[in-house]
Amino acid sequence: MAKGVWIVTEQRDGVLRKISFELASTARKLADQLGEEVCAILLGSGIEGIAGELSKYGVDKVYVADNAALEPYTTDAHAMAAAKVVKENDPSILLLGASIQGKDLSGRLVGKLATGMAADCTDVKIADSKLLATRPMYAGKCYGEIVFSSTPQMASLRPNVFPIVENPKAGTVVKFDPALDPSQLKTKVLEVQKDTSGKVDLTEANFIVSGGRGMKGPEGYQIIEGLADVIGATVGASRAAVDAGWRPLSDQVGQTGKVVSPNLYIACGISGAIQHLAGMSSSKYIVAVNKDPEAPIFAKADYGVVDDLFKIIPELTEACKKLLAE
Amino acid sequence: MNIVACVKQVPDTEAQIKVKPDGSGIDESGIKWVMNPYDEYGVEEALRLKEKFGGEVTVVSLGPARVMETTRTALAMGSDKGIHICDPALDGADAYTTAAALAAAIAGIPHDIIFCGQRAIDDDSGQVGPILAELLGIPQLTVVTKADLDVDGKTIKAIRPIEGAQLLIEGTLPCVVTAQKGLNEPRYASLPGIMKAKKKPVDTKDAAALGVTVAVKAKVARFIPPPARAAGKIVGGDDPATKAAELARLLREEAKVI
């Protein structure tokens, strides 16, 4: 019978990404309820040394495939390696991150394992010894509770939602041969162009300052950048602002952009069209600054300021600067 | 070149989604149905490839009878023919079952490149494209904002933005490409296009005709409304400076986020 809670970890350039610890902590919680083990899959090249970090967050066993063809990530190589070790060990639950890489890999694994999967979950728990996954649908306009009739029961977890909990285990490392068939590796990475701005991606940001139509033009974003610099936030934008060409596509938050869940989301000059609200309503705290007291964004905001954002934001930037210097 | 574009019909982004009182699904009354926005980029890219390399675009859709309208939209944009997988047994199908039905339909026709949206804005799972690629045994290039097919038509290079970086990846054909916003600007269907679309062939098939056994492996047991947010407060003050200072104080002392 299928047994064990497994996770597929994610590393980049030999550094485990935060989602890996979110996965480990969540898997530990589920495994404790089931009385089972947590096993992690770690794939890459020259990465054996980082396996131990996972045991700090409750991982009992780390299955490591260290192979040049696993670096950098490609779908074919990682899916082949992960599917092999999963099939050999028959876990009852398999968790991945709903990061860009995790989304690319999870579908491929679903195909290889012919199983069911709940994507981008915001909650997972055990009910009657089985996985019950809760996930936003329609960009959060409603939620679905997913049940499974096959194993492994697969779920991907939305980044930034699940807490990281330290829970040290002895943590054994098991090396395995990924048995890659070079003729089946049909994609390759030709070039990696890193974003040198040093800003955290919107989907992983703890703080986001977003601007909408109320910014009046691309220059308006200077004051938003100013506030973002002071509080260490990433800048986002509404669809209206992106479609107007004021901000790049990668900044768009909403149903046809990025779905974000920061600790603090500051919406400036965003009226709150339903498609925007859908993309940010899982933020822990929402602040809205808008001249129009009737703007729908205020119904979602924890703190609302009805005023001209061009006056409020510079003042807020100064006030935050002062508080942070204390 | 044999090009396939998969399209899904979804509620438009402005739609209010109401959960049925018994949690068995969403209330579809009053919903305006549209082509999934990400699929539009896929159809557009398929048409551009056809214009450049010649060949044919087949649009493949899955869903109830109303989906024919979305299929016709893709034909009106310039696709040549359609396959509509229509079977009540597939209502509420999970990503695996959906992909299995699409794979069965596509396996039966010549295919060099298959476009899907990177995700559908209803289920938001983003899984069907990769599962489809796996079931067809071909590579996938997902969430791409630029796709360049080599002149020989054998390999494709694509730009794929990831967290904090952008990748240039290369894959061999046949392959599945999933489209992200930014890939192109989809065209509107022209009036002559709409007239012509009415006469273009659409083959409607059920699961049995495709040889697909419906065995859903993950299902939505219950639909629930989103968690309600507690009512917030409006930050008062006589002037912008006072309001801003009070907001900063609340963020630090009450919310404890800064």
Which of B138, B170, B244 lies at the smallest CB-CB distance from A319?
B244
Which of B145, B160, B232 lies at the smallest CB-CB distance from A301?
B232
Residues 6 or more apart in contact with residue B159 via CB below 8 angstroms: B144, B145, B146, B147, B166, B167, B168
Q: How confident is the model at residue B222 (pLDDT cuts 50, 70, 90)?
A: very high
Question: B122-141: per-residue pLDDT in tens?
Answer: 999 999 999 999 999 999 99
A102: enclosing H helix or E strand: helix A100-113
If we measure between CA atoms, which residue out of A59, A62, A140 comes closest to residue B228?
A: A140
CATH number for the domain that contains residue B177:
3.40.50.620
The answer on A265 and A160 residing in a single domain is no
| 3-state secondary structure at position A158 | coil
Q: How confident is the model at residue A40 (pLDDT cuts 50, 70, 90)?
A: very high
Give the Cβ contact number of residue A68 at 10 Å. 10
Which of A142, A207, A312 lies at the smallest CB-CB distance from B225?
A142
Q: How confident is the model at residue B157 (pLDDT cuts 50, 70, 90)?
A: very high
Contacts of A147 in chain B (CB under 8 A): 218-219, 221
**Per-residue confidence (pLDDT) for residue A278, from 0 to 100:** 87
If we measure between CA atoms, which residue out of B95, B140, B137 comes closest to residue B115?
A: B140
The answer on B256 and B183 residing in a single domain is no
B254 in any annotated domain:
yes
Contacts of A13 in chain B (CB under 8 A): none
The answer on B245 and B179 residing in a single domain is no
For chain A positions 189-208, those within 8 Å of chain B (CB to CB) are 189-195, 199-201, 203-204, 207
Q: What is the mean pLDDT of residues A130-145?
A: 95
Q: What is the mean pLDDT of residues B104-114?
A: 98
Q: Tokens standing for A252? A: 């768009």
Is the pLDDT confidence value at B89 over 90?
Answer: yes
B62 - beta bridge partners? Answer: B85
Mutate to test the interface with A, among B246, B254, B257 (most CBs of A within 10 A): B257
The answer on A233 and A148 residing in a single domain is no
Domain boundary among A123, A154, A184: A184
Is the pLDDT confidence value at B96 over 90?
Answer: yes
A148–B218: do the CB atoms touch at under 8 Å?
yes
Task: Calculate the average pLDDT of chain A.
Answer: 96
Q: Tell me, what DSSP letter sits at residue B26?
A: B
Q: What total number of domains does chain B contain? A: 2
Which of B130, B132, B247 lies at the smallest CB-CB distance from A287?
B247
A108–B133: do the CB atoms touch at under 8 Å?
yes
Question: A193-242: per-residue pLDDT in tens?
Answer: 998 877 899 999 999 999 999 999 999 999 999 999 999 999 999 999 99
Distance, in Å, from the CA atom of A81 to the CA atom of A74, rounded to the nearest integer, reads 11
Instruction: Please give the angle made by the CA atoms of B141, B142 and B148, to the nearest 5 degrees.
Output: 50
A120–B124: do the CB atoms touch at under 8 Å?
yes
CATH number for the domain that contains residue A44:
3.40.50.620
**Per-residue confidence (pLDDT) for residue A116, from 0 to 100:** 97
Q: How confident is the model at residue A282 (pLDDT cuts 50, 70, 90)?
A: confident
A183 touches chain B (CB under 8 A): no
Question: B178-203: per-residue pLDDT in tens?
Answer: 999 999 999 999 999 999 999 999 99
If we measure between CA atoms, which residue out of A255, A17, A249 comes closest to residue B124?
A: A255
B130 in any annotated domain:
yes
A270 in any annotated domain:
yes
Q: Is B97 left (phi over 0), alpha (psi -120 to 50) or beta?
A: alpha
B200 in any annotated domain:
yes
Mutate to test the interface with A, among B96, B146, B239 (most CBs of A within 10 A): B96
Residues 6 or more apart in contact with residue B140 via CB below 8 angstroms: A75, A104, A107, A108, A187, B129, B130, B133, B134, B171, B175, B176, B177, B178
Please give the radius of gyration of chain A, using alpha carbons only, rounded to the nearest integer: 21
* Contact indicator for A202, A220 with CB cutoff of 8 Å: no
Q: Tokens standing for A234? A: 């990433």
The answer on B97 and B25 residing in a single domain is yes
Q: How confident is the model at residue A1 (pLDDT cuts 50, 70, 90)?
A: confident
A137 touches chain B (CB under 8 A): yes
B251–A285: do the CB atoms touch at under 8 Å?
yes
**Per-residue confidence (pLDDT) for residue A139, from 0 to 100:** 86
A122 touches chain B (CB under 8 A): no
Q: Is B124 left (phi over 0), alpha (psi -120 to 50) or beta?
A: left
Which residue of chain A is at minimal alpha-carbon distance from B163?
Answer: A201
CA distance A109 to chain B (A): 8
Distance, in Å, from the CA atom of B194 to the CA atom of A262, rounded to the nearest integer, reads 44
Q: Is A142 left (phi over 0), alpha (psi -120 to 50) or beta?
A: beta
Is the pLDDT confidence value at B45 over 90?
Answer: yes
Longest dimension (CA), chain A: 63
B139–A186: do the CB atoms touch at under 8 Å?
yes
Q: What total number of domains does chain A contain? A: 2
Domain that holds residue B255: 232-258
A141 in any annotated domain:
yes
Contacts of B123 in chain A (CB under 8 A): 137
CA distance B144 to chain A (A): 11
A120 touches chain B (CB under 8 A): yes
Contacts of A249 in chain B (CB under 8 A): 145, 181-182
The answer on B247 and B146 residing in a single domain is no
| 3-state secondary structure at position A17 | coil
B215 in any annotated domain:
no
B220 in any annotated domain:
no
Q: What is the mean pLDDT of residues A135-147?
A: 94
Q: What is the mean pLDDT of residues A26-39?
A: 98
Burial B82-114 (b: 16+ CB within 10 A, else e): bbbbbbeebeebbbbbbbbbbbbbbeeeebbbb
DSSP string covering A279-301, please? HHTT-SEEEEEES-TT-GGGGT-
Task: Calculate the average pLDDT of chain B.
Answer: 96
B221 in any annotated domain:
no
**Per-residue confidence (pLDDT) for residue A196, from 0 to 100:** 81
Q: What is the mean pLDDT of residues A29-51?
A: 97
The gap from C-alpha A87 to its chain's centroid, in whole angstroms, comes to 26
Query: Could you give the count of Cα atoms lying within 13 Å of A190 in the half-sphere of its Cβ?
Result: 12
**Per-residue confidence (pLDDT) for residue B220, from 0 to 100:** 97
Q: What is the mean pLDDT of residues A259-287?
A: 94
Give the Cβ contact number of residue A114 at 10 Å. 14
**Per-residue confidence (pLDDT) for residue B110, from 0 to 100:** 98
Question: A247-256: per-residue pLDDT in tens?
Answer: 999 999 998 8
* Contact indicator for B31, B91 with CB cutoff of 8 Å: no
A319–B245: do the CB atoms touch at under 8 Å?
yes
The answer on A318 and A264 residing in a single domain is yes
Domain that holds residue A277: 202-325
The answer on A79 and A222 residing in a single domain is no
Give the Cβ contact number of residue A167 at 10 Å. 15
What ipTM was predicted for this assembly?
0.95
Angle between helices B128-136 and A100-113 (to 10 degrees): 40
Q: Tell me, what DSSP letter sits at residue A274?
A: H
Contacts of B121 in chain A (CB under 8 A): 138-139, 255-256
B255 in any annotated domain:
yes
Pairing type for strands B56-62 and B81-85 reads parallel
For chain A positions 38-57, those within 8 Å of chain B (CB to CB) are none
If we measure between CA atoms, which residue out of A15, B126, A17 comes closest to residue A7?
A: A17
